[in-house]
């Protein structure tokens, strides 16, 4: 999944990013509110990790901006403020959860998993197409019930396709969702990952079809 981290402390940002990458997620990092607004206005994210005390203002203004746009992306607030009134105001503004600094990174990972489960509307959000299934929280693909080990990019690409099996994804759209703004990649990289996924899907009743000039779609054979 793709996350937006809004945090001006670079040491903390690097530590959080490393933890999320270990779980196979892609992370864009913004140090200021205005940068965060640009990221969220031009990209799509599955989760936002938001600091409150930022160089150009209070992170609450970003949260208000985000919810005013009618976006339901879950937001976990990272704050040094521990007063009950602060926490209540954050939840009232639309935060899904909060963590008080300093926090344990393992707990943050657990909170992230919990929020993503709630956002999917189920404690076990397994998605199935034909004889292929995917658990987005556990990051597990199964073909005919057998677990398939995927590399991080392959996993996230498959996640996008199986979450919208009737949608055609252009190469540019897939690049935007699989890579951060800082990564310099070509659309040829998508072809490589599509090829790898097709090999994994060969034993199944599902394949990835190419729609010339449009992109790719997950289809039953």
Question: Do 115 and 131 lie in a common domain?
Answer: no
Question: Do 133 and 86 lie in a common domain?
Answer: no
Residue 213 host element (H or E): none
CA distance 35 to 43: 12
Q: Could you tell me the CA-to-CA distances from 33 to 26, 51, 63, 203, 214 in Å, in that order?
A: 20, 10, 10, 47, 35
Question: Do 132 and 112 lie in a common domain?
Answer: no
CATH code, domain with 72? 3.40.50.2300
Q: How confident is the model at residue 147 (pLDDT cuts 50, 70, 90)?
A: very high
pLDDT at position 140 over 60? yes
Question: Do 108 and 188 lie in a common domain?
Answer: no
Task: Report the residue count for the chain.
Answer: 221
Question: Do 90 and 152 lie in a common domain?
Answer: no
What is the arithmetic mean of pLDDT over 85-94? 84
| pTM of the shown model | 0.74
- Which domain-ending residue is among 80, 96, 119? 119
CATH code, domain with 189? 1.10.10.10
Provide the pLDDT for residue 114.
86
Q: How confident is the model at residue 30 (pLDDT cuts 50, 70, 90)?
A: very high
Question: Do 7 and 109 lie in a common domain?
Answer: yes
Start-to-end CA span in the chain (Å): 27
pLDDT at position 110 over 80? yes
What domain range includes position 56? 2-119
pLDDT at position 142 over 90? yes
Our count of domains for the chain comes to 2
Question: Do 135 and 180 lie in a common domain?
Answer: yes
Question: Do 108 and 131 lie in a common domain?
Answer: no
């Amino acid at each position: 999944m793709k996350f937006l981290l809004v945090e001006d402390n670079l040491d903390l940002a690097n530590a959080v990013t490393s933890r999320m990458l270990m779980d196979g997620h892609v992370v864009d990092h913004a140090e200021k509110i205005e940068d965060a607004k640009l990221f969220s206005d031009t990209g799509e994210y599955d989760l936002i990790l938001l600091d409150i005390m930022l160089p150009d203002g209070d992170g609450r203004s970003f949260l208000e901006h985000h919810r005013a746009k009618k976006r339901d992306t879950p937001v976990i607030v990272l704050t040094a403020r521990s007063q009950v009134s602060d926490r209540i105001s954050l939840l009232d503004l639309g935060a899904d959860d909060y963590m008080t600094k300093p926090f344990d990174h393992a707990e943050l990972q657990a909170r992230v998993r919990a929020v993503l489960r709630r956002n999917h509307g189920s404690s076990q959000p397994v998605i199935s197409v034909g004889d292929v299934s995917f658990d987005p929280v556990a990051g597990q693909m199964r073909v005919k019930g057998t677990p398939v080990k995927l590399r991080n990019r392959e996993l996230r690409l498959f996640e996008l396709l199986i979450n919208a099996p009737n949608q055609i994804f252009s190469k540019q759209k897939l690049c935007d969702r699989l890579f951060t703004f800082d990564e310099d990649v070509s659309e040829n990289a998508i072809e490589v990952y599509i090829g790898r996924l097709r090999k994994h899907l060969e034993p199944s009743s599902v394949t990835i079809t190419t729609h010339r000039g449009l992109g790719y779609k997950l289809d039953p054979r």
